[in-house]
Structure 1
Amino acid sequence: MGICRLGFLVGLLWFMVIDRQILCMADTHHYNFVLQQAQFTRLCETKTMLTMNGSFPGPTIHARRGDTIYVNVHNEGEYGVTIHWHGVKQPRNPWSDGPENITQCPIQPGKNFTYEVILSNEEGTLWWHAHSDWSRATVHGAIVIAPALGTTYPFPAPDAEETIIIGSWFKGDLKAIIDEALATGEPPEKSNSLTINGQPGDQLPCSAENTYRYRVNYGKTYLLRVINAVMNEEQFFGIAGHSLTVVGQDAAYIKPITTNYIMITPGQTMDILVSANQTPSYYYIASSSFSDGPNVTFDNTTTTAILQYNGNYTTPSAIPLPPLPRFNDSAAAESYTGRVRSLASENHPINVPQSINRRLYIAIALNFLPCTAATCANSTRVAASMNNVSFEAKPIDILQAYYRSIDGVFDRDFPSEPPKYYNFTGNMTSIDVTTATGTKVKMLNYGESVEIVFQGTNLLAEMNHPIHLHGFSFYLVGTGKGNFNNVTDPKSYNLIDPPEINTVALPKSGWAAIRFIADNPGVWFIHCHLERHSSWGMDTVLIVKNGTTTATSMRPPPASLPSCS
């Protein structure tokens, strides 16, 4: 496996990089990326914000399957920041996973920390992002993982590739927005627009000049690496006049899906082939929000980019938009996600657990917590929970507390099932479910075959939730509407070719079942990737104990972990 060194600058973070491909080929070229606070103009206003290397989105990491990447992060910002390598399993190495106060304390201003990003069987597109407060909105970028040397894609090689990152744009200061929301107990402000590669698009004020354009040649095929980095909205995405052939999701190959649109949740990535086979002209690339919860405030803007053919032709007076589903079209969202299947080929096999020895049933809910009138607006604050526990982080990260046997940081009694059973997806008018804060984890033995059923609830607001598990890819073996039935529903599981993913869309008023082998010792965060829900406590932690050998045990910590004091 190649060992390649990279360095970045994160807006207010500074990264020094050595190019992966050059170093892995015995070259000695070095690249410096300077991190700084940078100014950007969007929607007729200019703001200064935290960035990686002064760009939004940040730089792309290029690697091959099985490589190891070192990223030396220098924080020259105003507050602590961590970086997470979303979808990278980090075998035996939770020390570089990145979620603040889970596997590390933040890198303080003026300090640095070197992340060791260990790739294993990931192949395709992943991404990196800040994992502190809401800074990931501006601090994120792509990870492009090519096949190992001597191998190739399981589809005809494209003529070119491009990364498409869908993001959020906030006019206000992100840290101030979430700090105020948590202090008052009120929902945070929604974003002012969506973006494609940092630009809102010419459907919105003052955005026409800098709308992102991707130029193509007629007759060629292009691989688009699409990443949903949006903070709080799932997305419908499409290209006017062009079919999409989806061939990968979350850095794993799938059976090709031909479609006019995709539904992609925050955290997910998709690899999409597009043939430039239409009359040369301009065509909109567009993304708009999917939000099926009643009375839920969300960013209902549409962000656009332009697929522009090269050649001589008359510039069109009007550019066509793709006919994306309506924002609340649950049937369209579930129709797409229900088609995804693993490639499960000889060269890209899967290993779905057929028998299970550890089961968790986790109810996902929104609710309220009591608070004093002096500290919040209405004597209650919005909360989110897993099995009635609203997660509350401590000043010492859980990984160090576990590794060093520090008492008082977390409890090992996260419930394996909801403490109270009720009609989870029924009428909530007369249901009284108490939510309490806590720092609770679930302990797993090394090598256990694990099944987790996530159960959506209608408490406060029923809606779709993207749930992300660190440290693992998992198999989505089943989904359904209503309350999970542990006798009849497993009979419909797909144990042949379920998708291997790291972020699952839990359907509104429904359930989703995942399976994986607990073969990665360490401390691993599990949370909703709608950032407001994670901030409200829709999180927990899985701790996988060491196995019986060094090769099945967590690696020791690096020498220079960020201090928690």
Structure 2
Amino acid sequence: MAFTFSGHFLIFSIITLAFISFQTEAAIKKYQFNVVVKHVSRLCHAKPIVTINGKFPGPTIYAREGDRVIINVTNYAQYNMSIHWHGIKQLRNGWADGPAYITQCPIKSGSSYNYDFNITGQRGTLWWHAHILWLRATVHGAIVIMPKHGVPYPFPQPDQEAKLILGEWWNEDVEVVETTGSKLGLPPNISDAHTINGKPGPLFPCSDKHTYALEVEHGKTYLLRIINAALNDELFFAIAGHNITVVEIDAVYCKPFTTDAILITPGQTTNVLLHANQAPGRYFMGARPFMDAPIIVDNKTAIAILQYKGVPTTVLPLLPNLPKPNDTTFALNYAQKLKSLNAPQYPAKVPLTIDRHLFYTIGLGINPCATCLNGTKLIASLNNITFVMPKIGLLQAHYFNIKNVFRLDFPDKPKTTFNFTGAPLTANLGTSQGTRLSKLAFNTTVELVLQDTSLLSVESHPFHLHGYNFFVVGQGIGNFDANTDPAKFNLFDPPERNTVGVPTGGWTAIRFRADNPGVWFMHCHLEVHTTWGLKMAFVVENGDGPEQSMLPPPKDLPPC
């Protein structure tokens, strides 16, 4: 595929080379996307935005398990660009992962870069998005990975499929909004609307033409591939009058369960089965934020329409019964229902013995800022360390042993312990800044507990680990107790994910095996928190021999 930017637009075309097992010929798929420059109108406002091929959301990448995908990105926009293939494991091939200044330097305006990677042992719904600045607000799209030929889904075969990408919309240039907030030392303005497939729905002004509609036939079953591409909001999603059955999370099959709503954090994907078995009519699908912390309230609800075939569009749709914005009980109960399929064909390979125990505290704070209008700025930290982005790609610095780019001394636990979720504290406990990474020997088994704190305010945090899936073995409210909580861990069929929510004022424990050498980013997927420094990276060392070692960098790796 070749991505091309023009003016305010990021445009791409893709060539996908698919080598199918047990086939006599390799399947070759070619997609050509031409440069289109246009204004996008939402909420009575038309403005130029950065997009892929002039589309918002961008084009879907279709592949099959075992395929090789080559994506050529050409940047004609005024911004530097990088693209992350969210959830693709990029085995030994961090060069194709995409986060700017972590695995690559960004693609400068007028330059190109080929993302070349294999899809190994994965099938389901993932997504791609810009991984620099706040550009993923409009630069994102779905990745649909089909199983190998002849391999069925481990759930009833749907009659049809559809993608639902949940997002946000700003009436102003999102980069200007973010920059303005940074200069003030305050959070940027929240979005003007939420969207479903780029459209806010009829609850917003001037949006009667901007409502997504999905037509269904009575009696048929539909696989809905749901992606949360929002920058800063966890979202509830529901369909009026219909239950849905969850069958996959983050491109991993799970034990099916039926629910009237789902919770999906930024970065996560959820596949559900919808049975069109209700009285033929028109039903609203809705998405609105889950916010159970004492922060800015955002009650905007995006609406789309589920339209039964043959029903007149004059019929008034029924509204969905979404959970309340602060429904913590629903959120916790929903998380408890998520379990790996753990079938012979799809086993849950949970590490049962642990080589390295990590405990990371999540903190928000206020630091002095001489250049900010308010004299202070908001910061975020892990183990009281605010991450400083380097000026050269960390993977390049690691591979070529370039000195003085980062330090390998990120602590396994916080320097200072306290009542993490007690009364809010105003002190930052001496928050430091630096580009500090944690080194893991190849094949190390890791248990990481992410603990929310009340340093400034408790809040939920969706964390994404690049290069890996992990098992969510435990979650709880309050302080993690190393003496009693591990006994409650689910080590049989815990959910396997690449992005997980840390509950407000609580903790989440994950486990993974560090068998993918390279430099791998881990960060909160709330863009505002990532901007404030809520991120770090792991350096996973090579193992024995070439099959356990990083691949060399491509010749067209963007320079810094």
TM-score normalised by L of structure 1: 0.96
Q: CA deviation at 1:37?
A: 4.4
Deviations 1:323-378 (A, max 9, x none): 11111111111111111000001111120000101111000111112221xx0022
Cα distance change on mapping 1:21 and 1:163 into 2, 3 Å: farther
Map 1:511-530; keep pairs closer than 5 Å: 511-530=507-526
Q: CA deviation at 1:432?
A: 5.2
The one of 3, 14, 17 aligned to 1:17:
14
The residue type equivalent to 1:204 in the other structure is F
Matched, 1:469 2:468: no
Q: Residue 248 of structure 2 contacts residue 270 of structure 2 at CA under 8 Å; is this kept in 1?
A: yes
Q: CA deviation at 1:312?
A: 4.7
Q: Residue 521 of structure 1 contacts residue 545 of structure 1 at CA under 8 Å; is this kept in 2?
A: yes
Q: Residue 8 of structure 1 contacts residue 32 of structure 1 at CA under 8 Å; is this kept in 2?
A: no
Distance in structure 2 (CA, Å) of the matches to 1:509 and 1:386: 15
Q: CA deviation at 1:222?
A: 0.1
Matched, 1:400 2:396: yes
Distance in structure 1 (CA, Å) of the matches to 2:133 and 2:527: 9
Any idea what SS the aligned residue of 1:402 has? Answer: helix
Map 1:144-293; keep pairs closer than 5 Å: 144-293=144-293
The one of 339, 359, 364 aligned to 1:366:
364
Q: Residue 8 of structure 1 contacts residue 35 of structure 1 at CA under 8 Å; is this kept in 2?
A: no
Cα distance change on mapping 1:548 and 1:341 into 2, 3 Å: same
Q: Residue 194 of structure 1 contacts residue 299 of structure 1 at CA under 8 Å; is this kept in 2?
A: no
Cα distance change on mapping 1:530 and 1:432 into 2, 3 Å: closer
Q: Residue 36 of structure 1 contacts residue 51 of structure 1 at CA under 8 Å; is this kept in 2?
A: no
Map 1:61-460; keep pairs closer than 5 Å: 61-294=61-294, 296-312=295-311, 315-316=314-315, 318-372=316-370, 375-429=371-425, 433-460=429-456
Matched, 1:501 2:500: no
Q: CA deviation at 1:27?
A: 6.2
Any idea what SS the aligned residue of 2:49 has? Answer: strand
Cα distance change on mapping 1:78 and 1:431 into 2, 3 Å: closer
Deviations 1:200-250 (A, max 9, x none): 001111111231000000000000000000010000000000011000000
Distance in structure 1 (CA, Å) of the matches to 2:546 and 2:145: 28
Q: Sequence identity of aligned pairs in percent?
A: 48
Any idea what SS the aligned residue of 1:437 has? Answer: strand
Cα distance change on mapping 1:63 and 1:247 into 2, 3 Å: same
Any idea what SS the aligned residue of 2:195 has? Answer: strand
Distance in structure 2 (CA, Å) of the matches to 1:153 and 1:510: 35
Cα distance change on mapping 1:21 and 1:403 into 2, 3 Å: closer
Distance in structure 2 (CA, Å) of the matches to 1:221 and 1:63: 23
Q: CA deviation at 1:22?
A: 11
Distance in structure 1 (CA, Å) of the matches to 2:445 and 2:368: 38
Distance in structure 1 (CA, Å) of the matches to 2:437 and 2:464: 16
Cα distance change on mapping 1:430 and 1:129 into 2, 3 Å: closer
The one of 4, 7, 16 aligned to 2:2:
7
Q: CA deviation at 1:118?
A: 2.3
Distance in structure 2 (CA, Å) of the matches to 1:298 and 1:99: 30
Matched, 1:537 2:533: yes
How many residues get paired? 555
Q: Residue 38 of structure 1 contacts residue 51 of structure 1 at CA under 8 Å; is this kept in 2?
A: no
Q: Residue 186 of structure 1 contacts residue 381 of structure 1 at CA under 8 Å; is this kept in 2?
A: yes
Distance in structure 2 (CA, Å) of the matches to 1:215 and 1:22: 34
CA RMSD of aligned residues (A): 1.6
Distance in structure 2 (CA, Å) of the matches to 1:380 and 1:180: 14
Q: Residue 426 of structure 2 contacts residue 455 of structure 2 at CA under 8 Å; is this kept in 1?
A: no
- Give unmatched runs, 5+ long, in structure 2: none
Distance in structure 1 (CA, Å) of the matches to 2:342 and 2:28: 39
Q: CA deviation at 1:38?
A: 3.1
Cα distance change on mapping 1:490 and 1:260 into 2, 3 Å: same
Q: Residue 20 of structure 1 contacts residue 62 of structure 1 at CA under 8 Å; is this kept in 2?
A: no
Q: CA deviation at 1:181?
A: 2.2
The residue type equivalent to 1:216 in the other structure is V
Distance in structure 2 (CA, Å) of the matches to 1:432 and 1:116: 42
Distance in structure 2 (CA, Å) of the matches to 1:226 and 1:494: 26
Q: CA deviation at 1:19?
A: 5.3
Q: Residue 426 of structure 2 contacts residue 456 of structure 2 at CA under 8 Å; is this kept in 1?
A: no
Q: Residue 448 of structure 1 contacts residue 518 of structure 1 at CA under 8 Å; is this kept in 2?
A: yes
Distance in structure 2 (CA, Å) of the matches to 1:499 and 1:314: 40
Cα distance change on mapping 1:353 and 1:168 into 2, 3 Å: same
Q: Which stretch has the larger CA shift, 9-18 or 549-558?
A: 9-18
The residue type equivalent to 1:40 in the other structure is V
Distance in structure 1 (CA, Å) of the matches to 2:430 and 2:373: 20
Map 1:546-565; keep pairs closer than 5 Å: 546-564=542-560
Deviations 1:82-141 (A, max 9, x none): 000000100000011000111111100000000013212221100000001000010000
Distance in structure 2 (CA, Å) of the matches to 1:269 and 1:494: 22
Q: CA deviation at 1:17?
A: 2.1
Q: Residue 221 of structure 1 contacts residue 275 of structure 1 at CA under 8 Å; is this kept in 2?
A: yes
Deviations 1:175-209 (A, max 9, x none): 22222222332111110000000000011111112
Cα distance change on mapping 1:314 and 1:175 into 2, 3 Å: closer
Any idea what SS the aligned residue of 1:334 has? Answer: helix
Q: CA deviation at 1:29?
A: 6.4
Distance in structure 2 (CA, Å) of the matches to 1:257 and 1:215: 24
Q: Residue 190 of structure 1 contacts residue 298 of structure 1 at CA under 8 Å; is this kept in 2?
A: no
- Give unmatched runs, 5+ long, in structure 1: 1-5
Cα distance change on mapping 1:91 and 1:432 into 2, 3 Å: closer
Cα distance change on mapping 1:431 and 1:395 into 2, 3 Å: closer
Q: Residue 37 of structure 1 contacts residue 77 of structure 1 at CA under 8 Å; is this kept in 2?
A: no
Distance in structure 2 (CA, Å) of the matches to 1:309 and 1:111: 47
Q: CA deviation at 1:8?
A: 3.8
Deviations 1:51-79 (A, max 9, x none): 00100000000111121210000001012
Q: Residue 196 of structure 1 contacts residue 304 of structure 1 at CA under 8 Å; is this kept in 2?
A: yes
Distance in structure 2 (CA, Å) of the matches to 1:430 and 1:7: 49
The one of 474, 477, 484 aligned to 1:481:
477
Q: Residue 126 of structure 1 contacts residue 251 of structure 1 at CA under 8 Å; is this kept in 2?
A: yes
Q: CA deviation at 1:9?
A: 4.2
The residue type equivalent to 2:380 in the other structure is A
Q: CA deviation at 1:151?
A: 0.6
Q: CA deviation at 1:434?
A: 2.1
Distance in structure 1 (CA, Å) of the matches to 2:259 and 2:64: 28
Distance in structure 1 (CA, Å) of the matches to 2:34 and 2:367: 43
Distance in structure 2 (CA, Å) of the matches to 1:494 and 1:66: 30
